[in-house]
């Protein structure tokens, strides 16, 4: 696979296998996310399922609730449980040989926000039906926008779909959830993920002050022994894909040591944070996502 998400025949087979496991992880999440269930327990079970199946993780399981749109994953010491009124976005993916899966669903535990969930899902279905080589990115965005607005909601404009490359979860092209006038055309053999976000808020997300997911940048000197220990582990195991702080909790004997090491590595520029994203108007958010291979006359959904 080259940067930008183009596959050869062998890699297509791998992508189909990765997509299948990713979808099964989503179905497991659907069965486990219930009122009173602990977020950390559910995340651990989903991630363990991938590893027990012979796969790695493309990124930590995201379980973003209500106005949080993306990038929330449980902490190493998380006692948070799902509430009866929660709208839960589950975004996840498996990995094998650098080939990445990426898919998402929204679970409405109250049943009162199903129209919002359906708006996101229908937008994805309508967009998928139009995907083929030669279609303009702006056309995909227009379909997503029109579908969500027809249901009485608005798309989140600064989130969208993307290419999926080898060890590159967010490769070119960016595929917005509205018509941004981009005349770039989808190409045959390109792997993309479409992910309509619908909200009853303002339609934009901003960074929160929650930092649980990080990515490796480069080696950087530090005198902090715990930070050096963390950096060595990150470089050996998570050099290419994002990682969760909780994955490194076994290295340290306290929460303070764990998070102070992460802060130090951020300070020296060795890692970067992916803060949890929150809807700017505190509106409820729903997300649905699938990964697909662009073909001449349509597309092949991989995460199924």
Please name which of 198, 184, 144 lies closest in space to residue 294, comparing C-alpha atoms.
184
CB distance 12 to 295 below 8 Å: no
Does residue 289 carry a catalytic annotation? yes
Residue 195 annotated as catalytic? yes
Is residue 102 among the annotated active site residues? yes
Please say whether the beta carbons of 38 and 63 come within 8 A. no
Catalytic status, residue 86: no
Distance CA 115, CA 136 (A): 28
Catalytic residue status for 52: no
From 16, 56, 86, 91, the catalytic residue: 91
Query: What torsion, rounded to 10 degrees, do the Cα atoms 242, 246, 252, 255 define?
Result: 120
Report residue 129: phi and psi, to 5°.
Answer: -65, -20
Among the listed residues 47, 56, 86, 195, the single catalytic one is 195
Looking at 56, 168, 289, 291, which residue is catalytic?
289
Instruction: Give me the catalytic one of 102, 212, 241, 264.
Output: 102
- Catalytic option among 67, 162, 212, 291: 162
Q: Return the SS3 of 181.
A: coil
Which residues, 6 or more positions from 108, have their beta carbon under 8 angstroms from its beta carbon?
87, 88, 114, 116, 117, 286
Exposure string (b/e) for 130-156, b if CB count within 10 Å is 16 or more? ebebebebbbbbbbbbebbeeeebbbb
170 is catalytic: yes
CB-neighbour burial class of residue 74 (10 A; exposed 0-12, middle 13-18, buried 19+) = buried
Catalytic residue among 170, 187, 188, 224: 170
Catalytically annotated residues: 91, 102, 162, 170, 195, 289
């Amino acid at each position: 696979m080259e940067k930008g998400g183009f596959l050869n025949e062998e890699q297509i087979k791998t992508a189909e296998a990765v997509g299948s496991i990713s979808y099964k992880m989503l179905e497991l999440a659907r069965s486990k996310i219930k009122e009173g269930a602990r977020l950390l327990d559910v995340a651990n079970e989903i991630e363990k399922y991938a590893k027990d199946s012979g796969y790695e993780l493309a990124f930590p399981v995201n379980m973003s609730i209500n106005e949080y749109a993306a990038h929330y994953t449980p902490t190493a010491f998380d006692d948070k449980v799902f509430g009866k009124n929660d709208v839960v976005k589950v975004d996840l993916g498996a990995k094998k040989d650098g080939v990445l899966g990426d898919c998402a669903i929204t679970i409405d535990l109250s049943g009162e926000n199903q129209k919002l969930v359906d708006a996101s899902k229908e937008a994805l279905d309508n967009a998928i039906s139009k995907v083929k080589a030669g279609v303009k990115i702006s056309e995909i965005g227009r379909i997503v926008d029109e579908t969500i607005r027809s249901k009485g909601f608005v798309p989140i404009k600064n989130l969208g779909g993307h290419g999926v490359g080898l060890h590159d979860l967010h490769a070119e092209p960016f595929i917005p959830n509205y018509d941004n006038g981009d005349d770039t055309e989808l190409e045959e053999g390109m792997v993309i993920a479409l992910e309509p976000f619908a909200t009853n808020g303002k339609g934009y997300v901003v960074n929160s002050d929650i930092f649980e997911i990080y990515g490796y940048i480069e080696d950087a000197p530090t005198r902090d022994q715990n930070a050096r220990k963390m950096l060595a582990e990150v470089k050996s195991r998570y050099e290419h894909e994002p990682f969760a702080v909780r994955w490194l909790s076994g290295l340290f004997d306290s929460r303070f040591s764990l998070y102070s090491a992460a802060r130090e590595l951020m300070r020296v520029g060795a890692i970067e944070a992916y803060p949890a994203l929150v809807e700017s108007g505190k509106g409820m958010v729903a997300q649905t996502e699938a990964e697909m291979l662009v073909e001449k006359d349509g597309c092949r959904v991989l995460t199924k």
